[in-house]
Each structure stands twice: as C-alpha cells, then as structure tokens.
Amino acid sequence: MAIVSTAVRRDRRWWQAGALLVWLLIDLGLGIWEMGGWKGFAPALKPPAVGGWGQPAADLVTWINAFGMLTGMAWPLLFAGLSMGTLVFLRWRKERTRYLRIRLGLAVLAYFGLTAAIPFVGSSFPVVPNPGGTGLPTWNWPTGLSMLGFVLLALLFGRGSYCGVICPAATYWGGLGQHFIPANINTPRARRLAAGLRALMVGLFVLTALLSIADTLLHWHVSVYGTDPAVFFSGVTWMVIWFLMLLVVPFLGNRAFTRFLCPMGATMGWVAQHGVWEIQAIDPAVCASCTDQACTRSCEVSLPVGRHLAEAGRYRSAACVGCGNCQAACPSQNIHYRTALDWVLPRSTRQPAPVAPGLPQ
Ligand code: SF4
Ligand code: SF4
C-alpha cells in the first residue's frame, strides 16, 4: 500500500494548507455561482435585525448558515467529489487487498449516490447520510429506516461501513488524507482532548435532536434565529466545521475531524463495539516478533493496532474507522477482518489462531 513513509515536513505544511484553502475557495465560488452570483447569494448574508447584544450572535448564525448553504450545493459537492474521487481512483489502481479496493469503490459510489445527489433530489430523498440535516421531525419512515440500516451495517461490518463508505469523509480521506497520516497528533493529551470534545459533540447532537422534536411535537418554539436546532447543529458540524477542519489537516493529520469532533462517528463506533467487526491476527506470534509495525504506522486514526494484536491476538476499538490500511500494510499478511461475511463466505486458508487462555476476548 502506498503510504508516505517520510514525515510531513514542517516547512511544507503552510503550502499544503494554502493549497487546501484555494481548493475550498473554488468550492465556495462554485456555490456562489450556482446561486446566481453575488447578487443571488448576498441576501443569504443578511441577518435578522434583533438589535442589542443579540445582534452579533444573529450575524454569526447567518454567516454560518450561508457558508453551510454553499458547501451543501450541487456544484460544490460535485467538484469536491470529482477532485477527491480522482485521488481515490489513482490510489485504488495501486491497492491490492480486496477489502480496500471494495471499500474505496463503495465510498466513491456512496459519495455520488448519497451526498452529491441530495441537492438534486431534495428532501424527498429517503436516505439520510447526514442526520439532522433535514430536521428530525420532518423524517418519515424511509428516512428513519435508513438510519436504522446504517446501525445494522455497523453491527455487522463495523464502523467502517459508515465512516469508511457512507460518510463523504471516506472519499475525501481515502485519497487526499493518506499523505497526512504521519502528521497525526497522537499524544496522550491530544487523545484525552479528543475524547472530551467527542463527548461534548455527542451531547450536543442528542440535545439538539431532542429540542428539535420537542419544538415540533410540544410546540416549545425553540430555534436558532429561526433555524431548527438539529438542522443548525447539523449544518455547523458537517457543512462548516467539517470543511474548515480540512485546512488544518497538514498540522493535525489525517481524519482530524473524525478523531476530534465527529458525533456521528463516535456514535457509530459505540454501536460497532457491540457488533461483529474485529481485527484478528492470523498468528499473534508473528505480531509479537514484528519490529516493523506497519499496521500502526499506516492507521488513518493512529490506533496501536500492532501492539494489541501482539498482546491479545485481536483488536476492537470504537475509534477504528475500518479503513483497511493496517491489513494492506502488514508485510506478513497477518491480519484478518472478522465481519458478518465470515458467516457465509469460506474463510481464507490462513485462519486466525485461537486466542490464548486468559487473553481478553
Ligand atoms: S499486523 Fe503485521 S505489521 Fe502489524 S504488528 Fe502484526 S505482523 Fe507487524
Ligand atoms: S485499526 Fe486498521 S482498519 Fe482500523 S482505522 Fe486503523 S488502520 Fe484502519
């Protein structure tokens, strides 16, 4: 697997961030063009006149909504998908593991089938990859069932079925992000900070969803300057912060949003921990004597997968996004991903070794 082995050089980081900024500005420019130029877009920047201390907050909410409106439009999403999808395609041609090739192919299909298609088909689309995006009370049976389907997939195939396929992050980071894995911030303090931030985001995710439902069913009249709380949280998270976090990737590393902020990923990780997905060492002794640790070095979210495989023969983490890098990178081909497919497909001739007594199951 093509993992960049040299560390991302400090002097290049500002250039890389600048290139990403240009990419984002092109994206936003396409959105403005799609809205009919500045004349069509300018009204979206006009805040409600609330006066007094509330006015700066109303201004901020208006700008946030306008930014999110641009990144959620059809042409910006197509441009992002085509540019990032091309990187995925270039990588896909070099990948040799079946898991990675299938996952990357599905990710690009899901991007154009779910994310980029939504602006064309509107809220009538019965699949919701971005919970809260349409306002929870407007959900109908098909949209609710689509979320239940994502949960079921996470139970059967791990968090990777969402974070590695359905989420647009799978396409963005499947191509672009691999270069930045060596820059991943992974100190104990960063991990504690990430855990705290994710807990905060999950709390806000649940709170705004409940407020949104209460507003509709109980007529609480809760809104963020006229915007449904769940829609606003969803917009801020996935249409604004998500894109702004792209700019700091040269400094924070690959999948910075996933690792530090994503409430959906954290929720799916929790679900997946109670499911079937597990990483297994075919022979734990091989990992125990491995000095290479290519699996750990290649991990999109910097998990110590090699150490756990050496110690326990298997690994399951709520943070694993199922990217497939560890399996592809292992020089001994010593990793097996257990999924629900193991129930129906013949196993490979190289089976995971039985776990030694006393080791965690
Ligand atoms: S999975 Fe492969 S690269 Fe990772 S520790 Fe085991 S043998 Fe080494
Ligand atoms: S543990 Fe393996 S599959 Fe999971 S995120 Fe890391 S590299 Fe990807």
Rounded Cα–Cα distance for residues 255 and 257 (Å): 5
Q: What is the pLDDT of residues 175-232, one digit of tens each?
A: 888 899 999 998 999 999 999 999 999 999 999 988 988 887 777 888 888 888 888 9
Rounded Cα–Cα distance for residues 251 and 180 (Å): 9
Give the Cβ contact number of residue 188 at 10 Å: 7
Question: Of the bound ligands, which one is closest to the alpha carbon of residue 323?
Answer: 2
Question: What's the chain's average pLDDT?
Answer: 87
CA of residue 315 to ligand 1 center, whole Å:
12
Same domain as 291, residue 226: no
234: nearest Cα among 208, 267, 216: 208
Domain count for the chain: 2
Give the Cβ contact number of residue 41 at 10 Å: 18
pLDDT at 190: 92
- Cβ–Cβ < 8 Å for 121, 134: no
CATH of the domain at 306: 3.30.70
pLDDT at 143: 74
pLDDT at 200: 96
pLDDT at 117: 79
Same domain as 300, residue 186: no
CA of residue 301 to ligand 2 center, whole Å:
7
Rounded Cα–Cα distance for residues 168 and 119 (Å): 14
For residue 302, the ligand 2 atom closest to its alpha carbon is: 6
Same domain as 207, residue 331: no
Give the DSSP letter of residue 162: I
Q: What is the DSSP string of 62-112?
A: HHHHHHHHHHTSHHHHHHHHHHHHHHHHHHHHH---HHHHHHHHHHHHHII
Low-confidence ranges of the chain (pLDDT < 50): 1-6, 349-350, 353-361
Same domain as 304, residue 218: no
Rounded Cα–Cα distance for residues 128 and 143 (Å): 6
Decide which of 216, 237, 271 is a domain's last residue: 271
Helix, strand, coil fractions of the chain, as percent rounded to 5: 65, 5, 30
pLDDT at 358: 42
Rounded Cα–Cα distance for residues 314 and 211 (Å): 41
Domain that holds residue 267: 63-271
For residue 329, the ligand 1 atom closest to its alpha carbon is: 3
Is residue 16 one of the residues assigned to a domain? no
Same domain as 159, residue 253: yes
What is the chain's Cα-based Rg?
A: 21
Pocket of ligand 1 (CB under 6 A): 281, 286-287, 290, 292-295, 306, 309, 330, 332, 334-335
Is residue 128 one of the residues assigned to a domain? yes
Decide which of 271, 305, 335 is a domain's last residue: 271
Give the Cβ contact number of residue 93 at 10 Å: 8
Q: What is the pLDDT of residues 101-136, one digit of tens each?
A: 999 999 999 999 888 877 777 666 666 667 666 666
pTM of the model: 0.86
Same domain as 281, residue 267: no
Same domain as 85, residue 176: yes
